[in-house]
Amino acid sequence: MRRIYLLLLAVGLSSTTFAGGYRVALQGVRQASMGLTSSMHARDASIAFFNPAGLAFVDSKLSIAVGGFGIMNTSKWQNAKTMESAETDSPLGTPVYFAASYRPVEDLTVGVSFTTPFGSTVKWPEDWAGKANVTEIELKSYFIQPTVAYKFNDWFSAGAGFIYAMGSVNLQRTMSVAGNDIGLEIEDTDAHGLGFNVGAYFRPSQKVNIGLAYRSKVDMKANYGEVTWTDVPTALSATMPFSSNEFSASLPLASEFLAGFSYQATERLLLAGEVSVHGWSKYKSLDIQLENTESGETYDSKATKNFIDRAVYKFGAEYQATDMLALRLGYYFDESPSPAEHWSPETPSTNLHAFTGGIGFKFGEGFYIDAYGQYSMGVERYVHNVESGFEGDVNTNAFIFGLGLSYNFLN
Amino acid sequence: MKKMKNLSKIFIAASLVAFVSCDQDFDEPIEDIVVTPGDADFSKYIALGNSLTSGFTDNALFISGQENSYPNIIASQMAIAGGGAFTQPLMPDDIGGFSNLGVAGRLKLVINPETGTMGPLATPAQSPLTMVNGSVNNMGVPGAKSFHLIAPNYGSPAGIGSYANPYFVRFASSPTTTVLADAAAQQPTFFSLWIGNNDVLSYATSGGTGVNQAGNTNPATYGGNDISDPQVVAGSIQAILETMRNQVGAKGVIANIPSITDIPFFTTVPYAPLTPEALGTETITTLNQTFSALNQVYDALGTPERKIVFNPEGPSPVVIEDETLTDMSQQIIQAMMAGGADQTTAYFFGMAFGRARQANENDLLLFTSQTVIGQINTERYQMLLGYGLPEAMAAQLSVNGVTCALSDQWVLIPSEKQAVLNATDAYNAAIEQLANAYDLAFVDAHAAMQQLSSQSGISYYGNNYNTTYVSGGAFSLDAVHLTGKGYAIVANLFIDAINLKYGSTLPHVNPNNYPGITIP
């Protein structure tokens, strides 16, 4: 008779996650400086991302827009019950965009945009209280969107784009089994997904522009991503999940519906307002499957997210101080999609009051330089994740700056 | 238009000011929180109790375990609210045990180099019993039952091995004193009391080999593994509270006791641990052939519930001896001989399975039973060799839990379990009633342990604590006592109860920051 022994260890991977929806709505410097109003600003090709139809109203045959941003984001956490606190030391986030449009025949405009509309870079202290959730995360996405727009008449156009999305994720955390810290890093640089973008643009009078657009959800799928464990006790090294070497996961990048309106109040003053509705409710849970490719064993980690659809209200103004210089201001209110009972520090999300301001220079007939700065002021909230037990007061704030160039060839 | 331009400038300027001063603070930053004692006075805190109070962990008392005892954790939080120093009867080393008394030191988790399996292994004690000078705040005495705290001579060096306890001997002010008298003499302003666990636990961990003393109110007549009468427990606790509350005038907190059904010592080994992989499919076939003769007898005798069958497809229950069953040895012997079996075979079955049955979900196998299940019972083996059986056959008929029924000490059968649960309920009813009568903060440790042993456990910042052995994080390697993490969870329970009762604002600790179990 073989020796009978009993399994002493049943090891559980705590139910936490690696990424949340983090929309970075920075795909045009001028738009950003006017409180993110976007769907009706058809100055240059950068509107392709926001509203494909708008390309038809860009008043040049060829338009090129390019820009970049720097995001300095800080998240803070404290728990008054245990008197613990921590603060992120996140590296500079650098979203960029490039867009070009061309009008081969009258009324038909084609274009392409390259953007980084979702992403997150968060670095918490190595040994902070929430290290089992996350110590560091870097989530990137790249959207390539070929676009076509058709102008039906002087006041209406429609457009559509196809989205090919690529992405990468790197998440690091320090888990613990009975007090034995075990490092986990998952990385995939080859995630991808598909989506589309449709829109309509109205110009009922020379003073009024209206944009309506819908961008679909994009499911970013990571397959065969790399899993690296560190400091695994010998006794656990052959046990799942610590023997896993690959992971698969899917992350929904939320859909967005935009309805915007601008009004040329005076010859020099442009006012804009927009509401965007973000389909975060598709982010119900984050399921990560870890796999040991040698043995075929799998391990499922599920974290409830139950995000909520949210509307963002945006207001912007542009004052053309001189023919060359424009001054811009804006404000928007961004409500957190993450409910307090499922809040997780890899997506440190709070309600935000965002104040934007910027300047624009115009040289010659169609060369623009735009610069802007933004302060996003978080609204303190109390969170208590019922699954992970993450608890405390959290707040975030961000300082963002950006520089953009646009060139419209007026031929 | 000029005005608009100015407005813009003002707005931009205001925004820039906001950017520069963007370091937002919380409405109530923790730096500004003032921790207050409320109506309580923590200047002299005394902890009374048993091993759980002392910081006993991994089956021993040693320095680092004591440092993470729940009273020491509570005292460190009290210190923020004006609490005084908290001294503990620290052991001489970080191994524990008493080398001169044959008490082993702490368990450590090790990988057996021969089998590759992992399990706890005791470290030999390196220090003899040492005396502690002066009074101590943590008066938790490992092994103490409720009535021991008011028993004279419990700290007498001469009584070690019989009526005294070596852990109390270490810090007792005199051989004749009581734990309670030494506590009261320190004039504490605050006390905690968590006692009563051992009044049922030693019975349970002995597999119910002791006696249920319900109705016998003289603890002097109790054996070490007996269940204390609930009136004895209630009376002992009342005597302690009478002294501490009404004579000394201290405020305090009292906890009830968890159910044994929620601790890993009784939940780790399943009643059906015999997997086909462990037994071997050929062995299962042989076993079922061997037992078929006996099973026919059970059918004939009208006790089919005693039949012993091993499942080739899934795990099978162990065979246990149930002393509450009618002894059918003689009937088995007669029936088997009538069926043509030889006398030796018939006698073996009659003797071995007279009160045997397979375990079911109502039985609790003890944590320690895993060391014997599947192993050869040498007593049986030698006896069979004496009957002239060949070695191989003798061995096959001597496998613990398979062909040799597990004896009483390895399993709590339903009647034993029920006796423990009844006593626990009675103690807890008395403790809660006394908590109210003496106006004390009350910790429902029973409910908390239920939550810990539930499917969801208790989570702190992504680390889940439950009662799974080792990986659950809260229980130490002895499967009865807690880890530093577990004691931190307990400390938070006491802190909650104290804050609720006295309006103090003692902060919690984060259990994640306390030691667990070192996995090799």
Contacts of A138 (CB under 8 A, 6+ apart): A120, A121, A168, A169, A170, A171
In a domain, A152, yes or no: yes
In a domain, A66, yes or no: yes
Cβ contacts from A onto B, under 8 A: 189
Are residues B459 and A319, on separate chains, in Cβ contact within 8 Å? Answer: no
Q: What pLDDT does A365 receive?
A: 85
A76 at interface of B, judged by CB pairs closer than 8 A: yes
Distances (CA, A) of A349 to A205, A240, A241, B24, B126: 40, 32, 29, 15, 54
> Looking at residue B229, what DSSP letter applies?
P
Q: What pLDDT does A361 receive?
A: 97
Q: How many other β-carbons are positioned within 10 Å of the β-carbon of residue B354?
A: 19
Chain B residues within an 8 Å CB radius of A378: 24
* Residue of chain A with shortest Cα separation from B403: A1
> Looking at residue A388, what DSSP letter applies?
T
Range of the domain at A225: 29-409
To the nearest whole Å, the CA of A259 is away from the closest chain B CA by 26
* CA B345 – CA B110 distance, rounded (Å): 42
Directed axis angle between helix B343-353 and helix B329-338, to 10°?
150
In a domain, A365, yes or no: yes
* CA A96 – CA A361 distance, rounded (Å): 20
Distance of alpha carbon A230 from its chain centroid, rounded? 30
* Neighbouring-strand partners of residue A229: A184
Identify the band that residue A9 occupies on the pLDDT scale cut at 50, 70 and 90. very low
Q: What pLDDT does B344 receive?
A: 87
Measure CB to CB from residue B520 to each of A16, A235, A327 and give the nearest one.
A235
Are residues B273 and A83, on separate chains, in Cβ contact within 8 Å? Answer: no
Identify whether the C-beta of residue A268 lies closer than 8 Å to the C-beta of residue A319.
yes
Q: What pLDDT does A139 receive?
A: 87
Identify whether the C-beta of residue B316 lies closer than 8 Å to the C-beta of residue B272.
yes
Identify whether the C-beta of residue A3 lies closer than 8 Å to the C-beta of residue B112.
no
Here the tokens at position A90 are: 């996140």
To the nearest whole Å, the CA of A235 is away from the closest chain B CA by 6
A4 at interface of B, judged by CB pairs closer than 8 A: yes
Peptide bond between residue A241 and the one before it cis (omega within 30 degrees of 0):
yes
CATH number where A89 lies: 2.40.160.60
Q: What pLDDT does B13 receive?
A: 54
Are residues A395 and B8, on separate chains, in Cβ contact within 8 Å? Answer: no
Cα four-point dihedral sign A199, A201, A202, A207: positive
Chain B interface, best mutation among A3, A7, A8, A332, by max B CB count within 10 A? A8
In a domain, A266, yes or no: yes
B92 class by beta-carbon count within 10 Å (0-12 exposed, 13-18 middle, 19+ buried): middle
User: For chain A, what is the mean pLDDT?
Assistant: 91
Are residues B473 and A179, on separate chains, in Cβ contact within 8 Å? Answer: yes
Identify whether the C-beta of residue B487 lies closer than 8 Å to the C-beta of residue A61.
no
A387 at interface of B, judged by CB pairs closer than 8 A: yes
Q: How far apart are the first and last CA of chain B?
A: 76
Q: What pLDDT does A3 receive?
A: 37
In a domain, A23, yes or no: no
Q: Is the pLDDT of residue A371 over 80?
A: yes
> Looking at residue B319, what DSSP letter applies?
E
Distance of alpha carbon B314 from its chain centroid, rounded? 30
Measure CB to CB from residue A85 to each of B30, B283, B471 and give the nearest one.
B30
Structurally, chain A folds into a number of domains equal to 1
B260 class by beta-carbon count within 10 Å (0-12 exposed, 13-18 middle, 19+ buried): buried
Share of chain A above pLDDT 90, in %: 85
Q: What pLDDT does B10 receive?
A: 55
Are residues B373 and A129, on separate chains, in Cβ contact within 8 Å? Answer: no
> Given the DSSP bridges, would you call strands A62-79 and A285-291 parallel, antiparallel or unpaired?
unpaired
To the nearest whole Å, the CA of B507 is away from the closest chain A CA by 5
A335 at interface of B, judged by CB pairs closer than 8 A: no
Closest CA to A341 of A301, A304, A302, A309: A304
Here the tokens at position A383 are: 């969170």
Torsion of the alpha carbons at A131, A132, A135 and A141, rounded to the nearest 10: -150
Q: What pLDDT does B114 receive?
A: 85
Element (H, E) at B75: helix B70-80
Are residues B119 and A8, on separate chains, in Cβ contact within 8 Å? Answer: yes
Q: What is the ipTM of this complex?
A: 0.86
Are residues A390 and B283, on separate chains, in Cβ contact within 8 Å? Answer: no
Identify whether the C-beta of residue B470 lies closer than 8 Å to the C-beta of residue B45.
no
Q: Is the pLDDT of residue A12 over 90?
A: no
Identify whether the C-beta of residue A16 lies closer than 8 Å to the C-beta of residue A132.
yes
Are residues A180 and B518, on separate chains, in Cβ contact within 8 Å? Answer: yes
Q: What is the CA radius of gyration of chain A?
A: 24
In a domain, A15, yes or no: no
Are residues B463 and A12, on separate chains, in Cβ contact within 8 Å? Answer: no
* CA A370 – CA A65 distance, rounded (Å): 11
Are residues B461 and A268, on separate chains, in Cβ contact within 8 Å? Answer: no
**For A182-200, what is each residue's pLDDT tens digit?**
999 999 999 999 999 999 9
Identify the band that residue A310 occupies on the pLDDT scale cut at 50, 70 and 90. very high
Are residues A234 and B109, on separate chains, in Cβ contact within 8 Å? Answer: no
Token look-up 């991503």 returns A225
Q: What pLDDT does B12 receive?
A: 54
Identify whether the C-beta of residue B46 lies closer than 8 Å to the C-beta of residue B74.
no
Tell me what the mean pLDDT of segment A91-101 comes to. Answer: 93
Token look-up 């009074």 returns B135
* CA B86 – CA B73 distance, rounded (Å): 10
In a domain, A290, yes or no: yes
Here the tokens at position A289 are: 């499957």
Q: How many other β-carbons are positioned within 10 Å of the β-carbon of residue B349?
A: 23
Q: What is the mean pLDDT of each run of 10 residues along chain B (520 residues)?
A: 52 52 77 95 98 98 98 98 97 97 96 86 96 97 98 97 96 98 98 98 96 96 97 98 97 98 96 92 92 92 94 96 94 91 90 95 96 94 92 93 95 97 98 98 98 93 94 96 98 98 98 96
Q: Which of A362 and B22 is assigned the larger pLDDT?
A: A362
Here the tokens at position B154 are: 């419990």
**For A147-196, what is each residue's pLDDT tens digit?**
999 999 999 999 999 999 999 999 999 999 999 999 999 999 999 999 99
A105 class by beta-carbon count within 10 Å (0-12 exposed, 13-18 middle, 19+ buried): exposed
**For A33-58, what is each residue's pLDDT tens digit?**
999 999 999 999 999 999 999 999 99
To the nearest whole Å, the CA of A38 is away from the closest chain B CA by 21
Distance of alpha carbon A192 from its chain centroid, rounded? 15
In a domain, A7, yes or no: no
